[in-house]
Amino acid sequence: MTVRKQQSAARQAVTHAGLVMFTLMVLYPVFWVIAMAFTPQQGFSMSLLPLPTNPTFDNFIHVVSTEGSDGSWLFGRQLFNSLVISLSTTIVGIFMACTAAYAFSRFSFPGRRAGLMMFLVSQMFPGTLMLIPLYVILDALGLLNQVLGLILVYSTTSIPFCVWMLKGYFDTIPRDLEESAIIDGASPFTTFWRIILPLARPAIAVTALFSFMTAWNEFILATTFMSTETSYTLPVTLRNYVGEYSTYWGYFAAGAILVSIPVMALFFLLQKNLVGGLTAGAVKG
Amino acid sequence: MARVLFEKVTKSYGDVQVVREFNLEIADQEFLVLVGPSGCGKSTTLRMIAGLEEITSGDLFIGERRVNDIAPKDRDIAMVFQNYALYPHMTVFDNMSFALKLRRMPSAQIKRRVEEVAETLGIGELLQRKPKQLSGGQRQRVAMGRAIVRDPKVFLFDEPLSNLDAKLRVQMRVELSRLHTRLKTTMVYVTHDQVEAMTLADRIVVLNGGYIQQVGTPMELYHTPANAFVGGFIGSPSMNFFSADVASEGGRITVTGDGYHLTLGDESAAQLKAHGDLKRVMVGLRPKDISPEAVEDNFIESVVDVIEPMGGETFYYFDVGESQIVGRSEGGVSASVGEVTRFRVDVDNIHLFSEDGETRLN
């Protein structure tokens, strides 16, 4: 008995040591970014311990108060761009993905399998491969340098993944619930809206978060399609602090922290929906 | 008037026919049970009444109306699903009132109706709970309540008790019986459990392989099964079957084989003769008609394999030819395992079938 206890204590110690190590490995770079952000621009030096020397908010103040060439509030403008693009991508993506995924999950129609496969195949190509075709299309549509252009591009790239994810979840919702609703007199739309969607909340939350983050963090397409500083999104601005001849690590780190705040906020907002077991009690398990 | 009428209804999935040439009239206020093994087409038949499955050919009427092309919501039916199918994100009240809200019934009326039904089902206290906070039996009641509040013309039950434990199942069975007496509505009930069928039904339809095997009252099915399948399906423990030679001895007809000798009664003999000069038949005997007793005629003699004392009755297992036979006696054990024992057969209750078991001969 005691031997077994000792063994399990030793095993726990090893497990926890491993967990602590991995946690540090993940957090160490984050600490570095935080340390850089709070260290004055010229005062930063590499050291083992990521602690800021002469901590200051100067970097944050500089990043936030950056002005454009016309004297306007550039950071605000770019934050607005990023928010509008990401939120619109999320809303468009969720709406299209939910309806498409429900159809793929429940209805049988010609091209159903082929459609699903195509969605999957589209995910296999790297995004940069589509850079030139997308550029040509946006140019032809007059959507270069436009917020709407990026919204469309991001939506089309995130929808296939979202459809697959939501379809997988819809598949797990018992059909009996829909049949029950049909007999109760619900139209297909009412069934979808009042029975299925509320139950798919966890999947929708994850999908929304995914769509938002994809759009929020995207850099390559944004830097290619957006050519004026007032149309930049925040990742493009961030990248500009890392220049060919000089790099403003302090601004970059402060900017990175500021940029991550909305994503974290969204995560906390959606967190309560990221729970399983919503369908518990519907049918006998 | 809410009779349900099937006229030559068939259902196929591609080349596979699941329900074949289904002709049946379910009378108004009747409690009809569809029973059969898995895959016999009973649930499909029920789902065709509900409108959840399309009818491949034939006509289905509810009342006087042909409903083949009528949407489920316009058929005035309510269905209780095997696994309850309660809306998990809604409270019991919302579950029960969902259909009424969709019909735009005034909310005061909805509240009154739901509370009234919940009270009669003993779930009045649970109206604000979510399904996951309920026990299996309570969920089942809510599922039934949801059907009852709608006051439908026809109730459809798809194996509603199969997810409950044995004790609760008996309790709910009795409540269903009461419910039918009180509501006086046509009810169609699907089950694979012949005990439920026997205890609940006004009439039973036995299905196998998509075909109706027999339609009748529980007692008709029990006493005069139309074929060996029905005989074996209805009654617990099941009917025993074995093949026997038919012979004529001194003007009487006997069925004999290794270890048994049965002389048929006049009525059975005459009925058997009417089918011509048969050499072999399939004999069907219920366990209650085979009991250990040393008699000189109409007996089966065999070595007892297993004895199951149940207290009030005892079951004996032994072989006749290739078939395993179950006998029964009232009260305590009156034989021993491994001993050759003689069982008296009540030939008045013998069931004779054609050798393939397809046709009843007496």
pLDDT digits (tens, 9 = 90+) for B326-335: 999 998 888 8
Q: What is the pLDDT of residue B258?
A: 82
Cβ atoms of residues A273 and A169 within 8 Å: no
Where b means 16+ CB within 10 Å and e means fewer, B318-350 reads bebeeeebbbbbeeeeebeeeeebbbbbebeeb
Chain A residues close to B104, C-beta within 8 Å: none
Answer whether A179 sits within 8 Å of B81, measured CB to CB: yes
Q: Would you give the DSSP letter of residue B264? A: P
Structural domain spans, chain A: 64-271
Q: List average pLDDT for each run of 10 residues in chain A, which is 285 residues long.
A: 76 95 94 88 69 84 85 88 94 94 93 92 83 93 92 91 92 92 92 93 89 91 89 88 82 91 88 65 57
Q: What is the pLDDT of residue A164?
A: 92
The 3-state secondary structure of B147-175, one letter per residue: HHCCCCCEEEEECCCCCCCHHHHHHHHHH
Residues A3-29 have pLDDT tens digits of 777 778 899 999 999 999 999 999 999
Integer-rounded Cα radius of gyration of chain B: 25
Residue in B closest to A200 by C-alpha: B89
Q: What is the pLDDT of residue B322?
A: 84
Q: What is the pLDDT of residue A44?
A: 60
Chain A residues close to B88, C-beta within 8 Å: 199, 278-282
Cα–Cα distance between B182 and B169 in angstroms, integer?
20
User: Which domains, from first to last, does chain B contain?
Assistant: 4-233 (3.40.50.300), 240-353 (2.40.50.140)
Mean pLDDT of chain B: 91
**Which helix (H) or strand (E) covers residue B222, if one does?**
helix B218-223
Chain B residues close to A177, C-beta within 8 Å: 85, 87
> First vs last Cα of chain B: how many Å apart?
38
Q: What is the pLDDT of residue A285?
A: 44
Closest Cβ opposite residue B130 in set A181, A198, A281: A281
Measured between CA atoms, how close is A195 to chain B, in angstroms?
7
Cα–Cα distance between B261 and B244 in angstroms, integer?
9
Closest Cβ opposite residue B77 in set A179, A183, A278: A183
Q: Smallest Cα–Cα separation from A170: which of A192, A187, A185?
A: A192
| DSSP codes, chain A | -HHHHHHHHHHHHHHHHHHHHHHHHHHHHHHHHHHHHHS-TT-----SS---SS--SHHHHHHHT-B-TTSSBHHHHHHHHHHHHHHHHHHHHHHHHHHHHHHHHH---TTHHHHHHHHHHHTTS-GGGGHHHHHHHHHHHT-TT-HHHHHHHHHHHHHHHHHHHHHHHHHHS-HHHHHHHHHHT--HHHIIIIIIHHHTHHHHHHHHHHHHHHHHH--HHHHHH--SGGG--HHHHHHHTB-SS-B-HHHHHHHHHHHHHHHHHHHHHHHTT--S-TTTTSS--
Q: Provide the Cα torsion B105, B107, B111, B114; round to 10°.
A: 30
Q: Smallest Cα–Cα separation from B302: which of B333, B328, B324, B332?
A: B324
Integer-rounded Cα radius of gyration of chain A: 24
> First vs last Cα of chain A: how many Å apart?
38
Q: What is the pLDDT of residue A282?
A: 63
**Which helix (H) or strand (E) covers residue B43, if one does?**
helix B42-50
Mutate to test the interface with A, among B46, B52, B158, B168 (most CBs of A within 10 A): B52
Residues B15-65 have pLDDT tens digits of 898 999 899 999 999 999 999 998 899 999 999 999 999 999 999 999 999
Measured between CA atoms, how close is A284 to chain B, in angstroms?
5
Question: Which amino acid is residue A245, in one-letter code?
Answer: Y
Residue in B closest to A201 by C-alpha: B89
Answer whether A199 sits within 8 Å of B88, measured CB to CB: yes
A74 beta partners: none
Closest Cβ opposite residue A185 in set B73, B88, B89: B73
Answer whether B163 sits within 8 Å of A284, measured CB to CB: yes
Interface of A to B at Cβ within 8 Å reads: 174, 176-177, 179-186, 190, 195, 198-199, 277-284
Answer whether A283 sits within 8 Å of B84, measured CB to CB: yes
**Which helix (H) or strand (E) covers residue B97, if one does?**
helix B92-102
Residue in B closest to A283 by C-alpha: B83
Q: Is the pLDDT of residue B252 over 90?
A: no
Answer whether B73 sits within 8 Å of A186, measured CB to CB: yes
Q: Smallest Cα–Cα separation from B239: which of B252, B226, B258?
A: B226
Closest Cβ opposite residue B102 in set A179, A184, A284: A184
Report residue B233's pLDDT band, with 50, 70 and 90 as the boundaries: very high
Answer whether B88 sits within 8 Å of A282, measured CB to CB: yes
Chain A residues close to B103, C-beta within 8 Å: 185
Q: Using DSSP bridges, classify how beta strands B260-263 and B280-285 pair: parallel, antiparallel or unpaired.
A: unpaired
Answer whether B85 sits within 8 Å of A284, measured CB to CB: no
Q: Is the pLDDT of residue B248 over 80?
A: yes
Q: Please, what is the angle between helix A201-217 and helix A249-271, to 10°?
A: 170
Cα–Cα distance between B11 and B16 in angstroms, integer?
9
What integer is the mean pLDDT of B140-163? 91
Percent of chain B exceeding pLDDT 90 equals 64
Measured between CA atoms, how close is B214 to chain A, in angstroms?
30
Query: Residue B175 contacts by C-beta under 8 Å, 6 or more apart in sequence?
Result: none
**Which helix (H) or strand (E) covers residue B4, if one does?**
strand B4-13
Query: Residue A176 contacts by C-beta under 8 Å, 6 or more apart in sequence?
Result: A282, A283, B81, B82, B83, B85
* Homologous superfamily, domain A64-271: MetI-like (1.10.3720.10)
Chain A residues close to B82, C-beta within 8 Å: 176, 284
Q: Is the pLDDT of residue B356 over 80?
A: yes
| pTM of the entire predicted model | 0.81
What integer is the mean pLDDT of B297-316? 91
Residues B269-287 have pLDDT tens digits of 888 888 888 889 999 999 9
Chain B residues close to A283, C-beta within 8 Å: 81, 83-86
